[in-house]
Amino acid sequence: MRRRIEIGLLYSRSGSYALISEACRTGALAAIAAVNADPEMDLSLVPVERDPGGNVDLYAPLCDEILRQTAARHVVGCVTSWSRKEVIPTLENAGGTLWYAVPYEGFEASDHVVYTHACPNQHLLPLLDWVFPAYGRRAFLSGSNYIWGWEMNRLARETIVTAGGQVLGERYLPIGTRDVGRMIEEIRATAPDFILNSLIGPSSYAFLAAYRDLGRTDARFTPGACPVLSCNMTECEMPAMGDESEGLIAAGPYFRGAKTGWAGAGKFGSSHEAAAFAAVRELARLLNGRPGAELEPLAKLLGHGAGGIIDRQTHHTTLPVLIAQVRNGRFVVVESQAAVAGDPYLTHPRVEARAPGLRVVS
Protein backbone atom coordinates (compact mmCIF):
# COMPACT_ATOMS: atom_id res chain seq x y z
CA MET A 1 0.00 0.00 0.00
CA ARG A 2 1.64 3.25 -1.15
CA ARG A 3 1.78 6.26 1.11
CA ARG A 4 -0.02 9.28 -0.30
CA ILE A 5 2.11 12.44 -0.03
CA GLU A 6 0.87 15.83 -1.16
CA ILE A 7 3.40 18.15 -2.80
CA GLY A 8 2.82 21.83 -3.56
CA LEU A 9 3.33 23.39 -7.00
CA LEU A 10 3.55 27.20 -6.98
CA TYR A 11 3.96 28.45 -10.54
CA SER A 12 2.42 31.37 -12.41
CA ARG A 13 0.70 30.24 -15.59
CA SER A 14 0.39 33.80 -16.86
CA GLY A 15 2.45 36.96 -16.64
CA SER A 16 5.92 38.07 -17.74
CA TYR A 17 7.71 34.79 -17.06
CA ALA A 18 4.94 32.29 -17.82
CA LEU A 19 7.07 30.37 -20.34
CA ILE A 20 9.65 29.57 -17.66
CA SER A 21 6.92 28.66 -15.18
CA GLU A 22 5.30 26.29 -17.66
CA ALA A 23 8.64 24.59 -18.33
CA CYS A 24 9.25 24.08 -14.60
CA ARG A 25 5.70 22.87 -14.05
CA THR A 26 6.03 20.40 -16.94
CA GLY A 27 9.21 18.97 -15.43
CA ALA A 28 7.69 18.69 -11.95
CA LEU A 29 4.55 16.95 -13.22
CA ALA A 30 6.63 14.56 -15.34
CA ALA A 31 8.64 13.60 -12.27
CA ILE A 32 5.48 13.09 -10.20
CA ALA A 33 4.17 10.75 -12.91
CA ALA A 34 7.50 8.89 -13.03
CA VAL A 35 7.59 8.47 -9.25
CA ASN A 36 4.02 7.23 -9.17
CA ALA A 37 4.78 4.65 -11.88
CA ASP A 38 8.01 3.43 -10.24
CA PRO A 39 7.53 0.05 -8.54
CA GLU A 40 10.56 0.72 -6.33
CA MET A 41 8.77 3.60 -4.63
CA ASP A 42 6.53 3.08 -1.60
CA LEU A 43 4.81 6.42 -2.07
CA SER A 44 2.54 8.30 -4.46
CA LEU A 45 2.90 12.04 -4.93
CA VAL A 46 -0.25 14.14 -5.23
CA PRO A 47 0.22 17.67 -6.67
CA VAL A 48 -1.50 20.57 -4.91
CA GLU A 49 -1.33 23.53 -7.28
CA ARG A 50 -1.68 27.26 -6.75
CA ASP A 51 -1.26 29.89 -9.47
CA PRO A 52 -0.11 33.41 -8.45
CA GLY A 53 -0.75 34.67 -12.00
CA GLY A 54 2.53 36.57 -12.13
CA ASN A 55 1.52 38.73 -9.11
CA VAL A 56 4.42 38.73 -6.65
CA ASP A 57 2.11 39.74 -3.81
CA LEU A 58 0.26 36.42 -4.08
CA TYR A 59 3.21 34.08 -3.66
CA ALA A 60 3.47 34.27 0.13
CA PRO A 61 -0.27 33.90 0.87
CA LEU A 62 -0.65 31.04 -1.64
CA CYS A 63 2.42 29.30 -0.23
CA ASP A 64 0.92 29.72 3.24
CA GLU A 65 -2.36 28.28 1.96
CA ILE A 66 -0.57 25.20 0.65
CA LEU A 67 1.34 24.63 3.88
CA ARG A 68 -1.52 25.34 6.31
CA GLN A 69 -4.59 24.08 4.47
CA THR A 70 -3.17 20.91 2.89
CA ALA A 71 -0.84 18.15 4.05
CA ALA A 72 1.96 19.36 1.77
CA ARG A 73 5.22 20.31 3.51
CA HIS A 74 7.31 20.61 0.33
CA VAL A 75 6.63 23.13 -2.42
CA VAL A 76 8.23 23.11 -5.87
CA GLY A 77 7.93 26.58 -7.31
CA CYS A 78 8.77 30.25 -7.82
CA VAL A 79 10.62 31.66 -10.82
CA THR A 80 11.91 35.12 -9.89
CA SER A 81 14.23 35.72 -6.96
CA TRP A 82 11.70 38.31 -5.80
CA SER A 83 9.01 35.65 -5.41
CA ARG A 84 11.45 33.20 -3.79
CA LYS A 85 12.42 35.75 -1.16
CA GLU A 86 8.73 36.58 -0.59
CA VAL A 87 7.92 33.00 0.43
CA ILE A 88 10.94 32.30 2.67
CA PRO A 89 9.36 33.89 5.81
CA THR A 90 6.24 31.82 5.16
CA LEU A 91 8.32 28.66 4.86
CA GLU A 92 10.11 29.49 8.10
CA ASN A 93 6.86 30.13 9.99
CA ALA A 94 5.09 27.02 8.69
CA GLY A 95 8.07 24.67 8.66
CA GLY A 96 7.97 24.07 4.90
CA THR A 97 10.61 23.62 2.21
CA LEU A 98 10.80 25.23 -1.23
CA TRP A 99 12.47 23.36 -4.11
CA TYR A 100 13.71 26.09 -6.45
CA ALA A 101 14.49 25.02 -10.01
CA VAL A 102 15.62 28.26 -11.69
CA PRO A 103 19.10 29.83 -12.08
CA TYR A 104 19.66 32.58 -9.55
CA GLU A 105 22.20 35.16 -8.39
CA GLY A 106 23.66 33.31 -5.38
CA PHE A 107 24.48 34.69 -1.93
CA GLU A 108 21.71 32.75 -0.25
CA ALA A 109 21.51 29.44 1.63
CA SER A 110 18.20 29.17 3.41
CA ASP A 111 17.40 26.32 5.79
CA HIS A 112 14.06 26.10 3.98
CA VAL A 113 15.14 26.15 0.32
CA VAL A 114 16.78 23.57 -1.97
CA TYR A 115 18.40 25.02 -5.10
CA THR A 116 18.43 22.57 -8.02
CA HIS A 117 19.53 24.96 -10.78
CA ALA A 118 22.75 26.94 -11.17
CA CYS A 119 24.25 29.79 -9.13
CA PRO A 120 27.00 32.19 -10.34
CA ASN A 121 30.00 29.88 -9.99
CA GLN A 122 28.08 27.49 -12.28
CA HIS A 123 26.89 30.02 -14.88
CA LEU A 124 28.13 33.63 -14.79
CA LEU A 125 31.77 33.13 -13.81
CA PRO A 126 32.47 30.29 -16.29
CA LEU A 127 30.72 32.32 -18.99
CA LEU A 128 32.94 35.35 -18.34
CA ASP A 129 36.03 33.12 -18.23
CA TRP A 130 35.04 31.89 -21.67
CA VAL A 131 34.16 35.23 -23.25
CA PHE A 132 37.17 37.31 -22.13
CA PRO A 133 39.82 35.65 -24.37
CA ALA A 134 37.35 35.19 -27.22
CA TYR A 135 35.90 38.71 -27.43
CA GLY A 136 37.48 41.07 -24.91
CA ARG A 137 36.83 42.61 -21.51
CA ARG A 138 34.81 45.74 -22.38
CA ALA A 139 31.23 45.07 -21.29
CA PHE A 140 27.77 46.60 -21.28
CA LEU A 141 25.49 45.31 -18.51
CA SER A 142 21.70 45.23 -18.79
CA GLY A 143 19.18 43.91 -16.30
CA SER A 144 15.64 43.95 -15.01
CA ASN A 145 15.30 46.28 -12.05
CA TYR A 146 15.14 43.75 -9.25
CA ILE A 147 17.38 41.29 -7.35
CA TRP A 148 18.48 39.10 -10.29
CA GLY A 149 19.59 42.05 -12.43
CA TRP A 150 21.24 43.95 -9.57
CA GLU A 151 23.24 41.06 -8.18
CA MET A 152 24.25 39.53 -11.51
CA ASN A 153 25.57 42.86 -12.72
CA ARG A 154 27.29 43.62 -9.42
CA LEU A 155 29.20 40.35 -9.58
CA ALA A 156 29.90 40.77 -13.29
CA ARG A 157 31.23 44.29 -12.68
CA GLU A 158 33.58 43.07 -9.93
CA THR A 159 34.80 40.19 -12.08
CA ILE A 160 35.35 42.32 -15.18
CA VAL A 161 37.22 45.08 -13.33
CA THR A 162 39.37 42.57 -11.44
CA ALA A 163 40.30 41.02 -14.80
CA GLY A 164 41.46 44.40 -16.10
CA GLY A 165 38.32 45.09 -18.12
CA GLN A 166 35.82 47.94 -18.25
CA VAL A 167 32.10 48.30 -17.75
CA LEU A 168 31.08 50.85 -20.39
CA GLY A 169 27.45 51.09 -19.34
CA GLU A 170 24.90 49.62 -16.94
CA ARG A 171 21.17 50.00 -17.49
CA TYR A 172 18.06 48.59 -15.74
CA LEU A 173 14.47 48.35 -16.90
CA PRO A 174 11.26 47.73 -14.91
CA ILE A 175 10.05 44.14 -15.22
CA GLY A 176 7.79 43.83 -18.25
CA THR A 177 8.76 47.07 -20.03
CA ARG A 178 9.63 46.92 -23.73
CA ASP A 179 11.11 50.41 -23.87
CA VAL A 180 14.69 49.47 -24.80
CA GLY A 181 15.53 52.37 -27.11
CA ARG A 182 17.80 54.28 -24.74
CA MET A 183 19.70 51.10 -23.87
CA ILE A 184 20.29 50.34 -27.55
CA GLU A 185 21.54 53.89 -28.17
CA GLU A 186 23.98 53.60 -25.26
CA ILE A 187 25.30 50.34 -26.67
CA ARG A 188 25.71 51.96 -30.09
CA ALA A 189 27.63 54.86 -28.53
CA THR A 190 29.92 52.78 -26.30
CA ALA A 191 30.57 49.83 -28.68
CA PRO A 192 31.40 47.17 -26.05
CA ASP A 193 33.00 43.80 -26.72
CA PHE A 194 29.97 41.96 -25.31
CA ILE A 195 26.64 42.57 -23.58
CA LEU A 196 25.51 40.70 -20.46
CA ASN A 197 21.73 40.48 -20.70
CA SER A 198 20.08 39.96 -17.29
CA LEU A 199 16.68 41.17 -18.44
CA ILE A 200 13.73 38.82 -18.06
CA GLY A 201 10.56 38.10 -20.03
CA PRO A 202 9.17 40.67 -22.52
CA SER A 203 11.97 43.13 -21.71
CA SER A 204 14.55 40.60 -22.85
CA TYR A 205 12.60 39.68 -25.98
CA ALA A 206 12.25 43.35 -26.95
CA PHE A 207 15.95 43.95 -26.32
CA LEU A 208 17.04 41.00 -28.47
CA ALA A 209 14.81 42.17 -31.32
CA ALA A 210 16.12 45.74 -31.14
CA TYR A 211 19.73 44.59 -30.91
CA ARG A 212 19.24 42.31 -33.91
CA ASP A 213 17.96 45.34 -35.86
CA LEU A 214 21.03 47.33 -34.78
CA GLY A 215 23.29 44.57 -36.08
CA ARG A 216 21.60 44.69 -39.48
CA THR A 217 22.73 48.30 -39.89
CA ASP A 218 26.09 48.20 -38.07
CA ALA A 219 28.45 45.20 -38.30
CA ARG A 220 29.98 46.10 -34.92
CA PHE A 221 26.88 44.65 -33.26
CA THR A 222 26.62 41.23 -34.86
CA PRO A 223 27.06 38.02 -32.79
CA GLY A 224 30.56 37.51 -34.14
CA ALA A 225 31.69 41.01 -33.10
CA CYS A 226 29.68 41.79 -29.96
CA PRO A 227 27.60 38.86 -28.65
CA VAL A 228 24.78 38.99 -26.15
CA LEU A 229 25.40 36.73 -23.14
CA SER A 230 22.79 35.24 -20.84
CA CYS A 231 22.67 33.06 -17.73
CA ASN A 232 18.92 32.48 -17.76
CA MET A 233 17.75 32.11 -21.37
CA THR A 234 16.82 28.57 -22.40
CA GLU A 235 14.86 26.76 -25.09
CA CYS A 236 11.57 27.30 -23.27
CA GLU A 237 11.61 30.98 -24.30
CA MET A 238 12.53 30.35 -27.93
CA PRO A 239 8.89 30.66 -29.08
CA ALA A 240 8.87 34.26 -27.80
CA MET A 241 12.41 35.11 -28.99
CA GLY A 242 12.16 33.57 -32.46
CA ASP A 243 14.91 34.48 -34.93
CA GLU A 244 15.97 37.40 -32.73
CA SER A 245 17.86 34.99 -30.48
CA GLU A 246 20.23 33.89 -33.25
CA GLY A 247 23.81 34.18 -31.98
CA LEU A 248 22.84 34.46 -28.30
CA ILE A 249 25.42 32.77 -26.03
CA ALA A 250 24.13 31.26 -22.79
CA ALA A 251 25.49 29.28 -19.86
CA GLY A 252 23.57 26.56 -18.05
CA PRO A 253 23.72 22.97 -16.78
CA TYR A 254 21.74 21.54 -19.70
CA PHE A 255 20.63 22.31 -23.24
CA ARG A 256 18.20 20.26 -25.25
CA GLY A 257 19.72 16.93 -26.27
CA ALA A 258 22.90 17.35 -24.23
CA LYS A 259 24.12 14.17 -22.57
CA THR A 260 25.76 15.38 -19.39
CA GLY A 261 25.00 12.68 -16.85
CA TRP A 262 22.68 15.07 -15.00
CA ALA A 263 19.37 13.58 -13.82
CA GLY A 264 17.14 13.18 -16.84
CA ALA A 265 19.61 14.75 -19.26
CA GLY A 266 18.85 14.19 -22.91
CA LYS A 267 15.08 14.08 -22.82
CA PHE A 268 13.96 17.51 -21.61
CA GLY A 269 13.08 20.67 -23.49
CA SER A 270 15.18 22.98 -21.31
CA SER A 271 17.21 23.14 -18.11
CA HIS A 272 14.22 24.61 -16.28
CA GLU A 273 12.21 21.51 -17.03
CA ALA A 274 15.13 19.24 -16.11
CA ALA A 275 15.86 21.04 -12.82
CA ALA A 276 12.24 20.80 -11.69
CA PHE A 277 12.19 17.10 -12.64
CA ALA A 278 15.40 16.52 -10.68
CA ALA A 279 13.96 18.35 -7.66
CA VAL A 280 10.89 16.12 -7.43
CA ARG A 281 12.83 12.92 -8.08
CA GLU A 282 15.34 13.77 -5.37
CA LEU A 283 12.58 14.62 -2.90
CA ALA A 284 10.89 11.28 -3.65
CA ARG A 285 14.21 9.45 -3.17
CA LEU A 286 14.68 11.07 0.24
CA LEU A 287 11.16 10.15 1.32
CA ASN A 288 11.10 6.61 -0.07
CA GLY A 289 10.97 3.90 2.60
CA ARG A 290 10.84 6.43 5.44
CA PRO A 291 7.26 6.98 6.63
CA GLY A 292 6.83 10.42 8.16
CA ALA A 293 10.00 11.81 6.58
CA GLU A 294 7.97 14.43 4.71
CA LEU A 295 7.38 16.14 8.09
CA GLU A 296 11.08 16.35 8.98
CA PRO A 297 13.07 19.60 8.84
CA LEU A 298 15.17 19.89 5.71
CA ALA A 299 18.49 19.40 7.53
CA LYS A 300 17.31 16.11 9.02
CA LEU A 301 15.82 14.96 5.73
CA LEU A 302 19.07 15.61 3.84
CA GLY A 303 21.01 13.89 6.61
CA HIS A 304 19.48 10.58 5.56
CA GLY A 305 20.19 11.19 1.88
CA ALA A 306 23.56 9.55 1.25
CA GLY A 307 24.40 9.53 -2.44
CA GLY A 308 22.07 12.41 -3.24
CA ILE A 309 22.60 15.45 -5.44
CA ILE A 310 22.07 18.11 -2.73
CA ASP A 311 24.89 19.51 -0.60
CA ARG A 312 23.86 19.20 3.06
CA GLN A 313 25.41 22.54 4.07
CA THR A 314 24.46 24.88 1.23
CA HIS A 315 21.42 22.97 -0.15
CA HIS A 316 22.81 23.59 -3.65
CA THR A 317 23.33 21.06 -6.42
CA THR A 318 26.47 19.85 -8.20
CA LEU A 319 25.86 20.58 -11.89
CA PRO A 320 27.63 20.41 -15.26
CA VAL A 321 28.66 23.71 -16.87
CA LEU A 322 27.75 24.14 -20.52
CA ILE A 323 28.11 27.17 -22.76
CA ALA A 324 25.98 27.19 -25.89
CA GLN A 325 25.15 29.49 -28.79
CA VAL A 326 21.90 29.74 -30.71
CA ARG A 327 22.61 28.63 -34.28
CA ASN A 328 19.86 28.07 -36.79
CA GLY A 329 17.23 28.23 -34.09
CA ARG A 330 18.75 25.84 -31.54
CA PHE A 331 21.36 25.95 -28.80
CA VAL A 332 24.63 24.32 -29.87
CA VAL A 333 27.12 23.55 -27.09
CA VAL A 334 30.48 25.27 -27.71
CA GLU A 335 32.10 24.53 -24.35
CA SER A 336 31.53 21.74 -21.84
CA GLN A 337 33.06 21.54 -18.38
CA ALA A 338 32.92 18.95 -15.62
CA ALA A 339 30.30 19.14 -12.92
CA VAL A 340 30.85 21.90 -10.36
CA ALA A 341 29.45 22.05 -6.83
CA GLY A 342 27.23 25.03 -6.14
CA ASP A 343 29.17 27.67 -4.18
CA PRO A 344 26.61 30.40 -3.44
CA TYR A 345 28.98 32.62 -1.43
CA LEU A 346 32.00 32.04 -3.71
CA THR A 347 34.14 30.77 -0.86
CA HIS A 348 36.00 28.05 -2.78
CA PRO A 349 39.02 28.59 -5.06
CA ARG A 350 38.15 28.49 -8.73
CA VAL A 351 40.04 27.22 -11.76
CA GLU A 352 39.28 29.38 -14.76
CA ALA A 353 37.77 27.65 -17.75
CA ARG A 354 39.97 26.70 -20.67
CA ALA A 355 40.03 29.46 -23.28
CA PRO A 356 38.21 28.55 -26.49
CA GLY A 357 40.41 27.59 -29.39
CA LEU A 358 38.23 29.25 -31.99
CA ARG A 359 36.23 32.42 -31.98
CA VAL A 360 32.63 32.04 -33.13
CA VAL A 361 31.84 34.32 -36.05
CA SER A 362 28.53 34.83 -37.81
The strand pair at 138-144 and 113-115 is best described as unpaired
Range(s) for CATH 3.40.50.2300 in the chain? 3-117+258-303, 121-255+319-340
Angle at 78 between CA 27 and CA 69, to 5 degrees: 95
The full length of the chain comes to: 362
Q: How far apart are CA 234 and CA 274, in angstroms?
A: 11
Interior/surface letters 52-80, b for 16+ CB within 10 angstroms, e for the rest? bebebebbbebbbbbbeeeebbbbbbbbb
Give residue 262's pLDDT. 62
As to burial, measured by CB atoms within 10 angstroms (0-12 exposed, 13-18 middle, 19+ buried), residue 10 is buried
Q: How far apart are CA 33 and CA 68, in angstroms?
A: 25
CATH of 3-117+258-303, one of 1.10.1060.10, 3.40.50.2300, 3.40.50.300, 3.40.190.10: 3.40.50.2300
- Does 3.40.50.720 match the CATH number of domain 121-255+319-340? no
* Local confidence pLDDT in tens for the 362 residues of the chain: 899 999 999 999 999 899 999 999 999 999 999 999 999 999 999 999 999 999 999 999 999 999 999 999 999 999 999 999 999 999 999 999 999 999 999 999 999 999 999 999 999 999 999 999 999 999 999 999 999 999 999 999 999 999 999 999 999 999 999 999 999 999 999 999 999 999 999 999 999 999 999 999 999 999 999 999 999 999 999 999 999 999 999 999 999 988 776 655 558 999 999 999 999 999 999 999 999 999 999 999 998 866 788 999 999 999 999 999 999 999 999 999 989 999 999 998 876 544 444 444 33
Give residue 305's pLDDT. 66
Q: Which long-range contacts (CB under 8 A, 24 or more apart) does 347-354 make?
A: 348/121, 350/121, 350/125, 352/129, 353/126, 353/129, 353/130, 353/321
Provide φ and ψ at 288, rounded to 5°. Answer: -60, 130
Amino acid occupying residue 316? H
Handedness of CA 198, 200, 204, 206 (dihedral sign): negative
Give residue 16's pLDDT. 87
pTM score of the predicted model: 0.94
Give residue 362's pLDDT. 35
CA nearest neighbour of 184 among 202, 158, 210, 160:
210
Handedness of CA 252, 346, 151, 193 (dihedral sign): negative
